[in-house]
Structure 1
Amino acid sequence: MKKLLFTLMLSAASMSAFAQNYTNDAAHSKLGFSVSHMTISDVEGNFNDFTVHASFTKEDLSDAKFHVTANINSINTGVEARDNHLKSADFFNAAKNDKLEFKSKSISKIKGKEFKLSGDLTLNGITKPVVLTLIYNGNIVNNGVKTYGFTVKGNIKRTDFNVGAKIPEAVVGDVVTLTSNLEFQAK
């Protein structure tokens, strides 16, 4: 009985030692996007002000959860006039809907370190289910701190979220490619 109790306590201790809640390392993370412009090139951008919370207790990430929030007013494409237009009612309507949010609902392994990450995306006041690809890039010990790396990719249709609904697809493509590179440090 003592042996069983000791084994259960040791198992619980090792699991809680692995169980972590993380917030992305802002200096080494990016929440980016790209979209076709005039059908001949892509415009890239990112959100400068965003936070990603991740939690998992299993090394295989089968219980991983991700929660992303981004300030729409922090959109940055490198051109101030374009950024201001994207914040306007023509696109994101940041005065009314100043936050982008993604909450994962499930994760399933595709192969190797590639996973299907399903969740709800709220953008421009509209919430829709989306499926993204999450790639676990591994972990290292950096200056004595365990650091995890992930890449998240996927596509959404801007018109599904009423973003730029009046802008023709020949001017701004409907499919927006999302790419996020994330680092998390165990604290």
Structure 2
Amino acid sequence: MKKPLIILAAALLMQTAVFAQSTWKADKAHSHVKFTITHLAVSDVDGTFTDFDANIVAAKPDFSDAKFSFTANTASVNTENDMRDKHLKSADFFDVDKFPTMTFTSTDIKPAGTNKYKVTGNLTLHGVTKPVTLDVLYRGTITNPMTKGPDAGFKVTGTIKRSDFGFGSKYGSPMLSDEVELSAGGEFLKAN
């Protein structure tokens, strides 16, 4: 008699957990995806992606169980220099015809201080998938005065090596730094 009750209780708990999960979508008007690379070892060049999607799925209000996913259209790269952007879209770098997107999907999240997390996941860039760990700061959740719904804020930072992804391999570190700083974040609106 106990076994059917345990199975029923487990099924109810699983259903509760599934229903408790919420999906949050990036409010693109108030979010950004940025990268910084050093040119000739003396100056930084910043770029953004103007076409991207980011989602978070979490059941806990502090997002300590969050799963992050991100996709950027590589052809939307923008460094505010048309000639450089055209070169970045070529086979020398993003090769946008062959690799139209770059993606990140989280696989693990660990606490790293108050409202801070280390998020590990798989980054796919230039057709290569590698694990990376990013720093995530949860800035809190408020009631958006415009939508009257919940709005959560996040800041994501990290560093990758472009050599890990075979990205821009024709250009060594005297020309372009191997390390690329990543910065993303903004507001996420609750979708369900």
Which residue of 1 is the match for residue 111 of structure 2? 109
- Please say which of residues 84-93 and 59-68 is displaced more in the overlay: 59-68
- Secondary structure of the structure 2 residue equivalent to 1:32: strand
Which residue of 1 is the match for residue 128 of structure 2? 126
| 1:141-171, Cα deviation, whole Å (9 max, x unpaired) | 1122110000000000011111101102111
Cα RMSD (Å): 1.9
CA–CA distance in structure 2, aligned partners of residues 176 and 79 of structure 1: 19
Residue 174 (str. 1) matches residue 178 (str. 2):
yes
Residue 163 (str. 1) matches residue 163 (str. 2):
no
Correspondence list, 1:69-84, <5 A:
69-84=71-86
Q: Go from structure 1 to structure 2 and tell me whether the alpha carbon gap of 1:16 and 1:127 turns closer, same or farther (over 3 Å shift).
A: closer
Residue 145 (str. 1) matches residue 130 (str. 2):
no
- Secondary structure of the structure 2 residue equivalent to 1:27: strand
Residue 154 (str. 1) matches residue 158 (str. 2):
yes
TM-score w.r.t. length of structure 1: 0.90
1:13 Cα deviation (Å)? 10
Unaligned stretches of 5+ residues in structure 2: 1-12
Question: What is the one-letter code of the residue matched to 2:184?
Answer: S
CA–CA distance in structure 2, aligned partners of residues 94 and 23 of structure 1: 25
1:18 Cα deviation (Å)? 5.2
Which residue of 1 is the match for residue 40 of structure 2? 38
Unaligned stretches of 5+ residues in structure 1: 1-10
Question: What is the one-letter code of the residue matched to 1:66?
Answer: F
1:59 Cα deviation (Å)? 1.8
CA–CA distance in structure 1, aligned partners of residues 47 and 123 of structure 2: 18
User: Does the CA contact (< 8 Å) of 2:62 and 2:115 recur in 1?
Assistant: no
Which residue of 1 is the match for residue 63 of structure 2? 61
Matched residues, number: 178
Question: What is the one-letter code of the residue matched to 1:88?
Answer: S
Q: Where do 4+ consecutive residues of structure 1 move more than 2 Å?
A: 11-19
1:46 Cα deviation (Å)? 0.5
Question: What is the one-letter code of the residue matched to 1:174?
Answer: D
Corresponding residue to 2:89 among 74, 87, 98: 87
Which residue of 2 is the match for residue 4 of structure 1? none
TM-score w.r.t. length of structure 2: 0.87
User: Does the CA contact (< 8 Å) of 2:92 and 2:168 recur in 1?
Assistant: yes
Question: What is the one-letter code of the residue matched to 1:46?
Answer: T
1:136 Cα deviation (Å)? 0.3
- Secondary structure of the structure 1 residue equivalent to 2:138: strand
| 1:25-55, Cα deviation, whole Å (9 max, x unpaired) | 0100001000001100100011000000111
CA–CA distance in structure 1, aligned partners of residues 60 and 119 of structure 2: 16
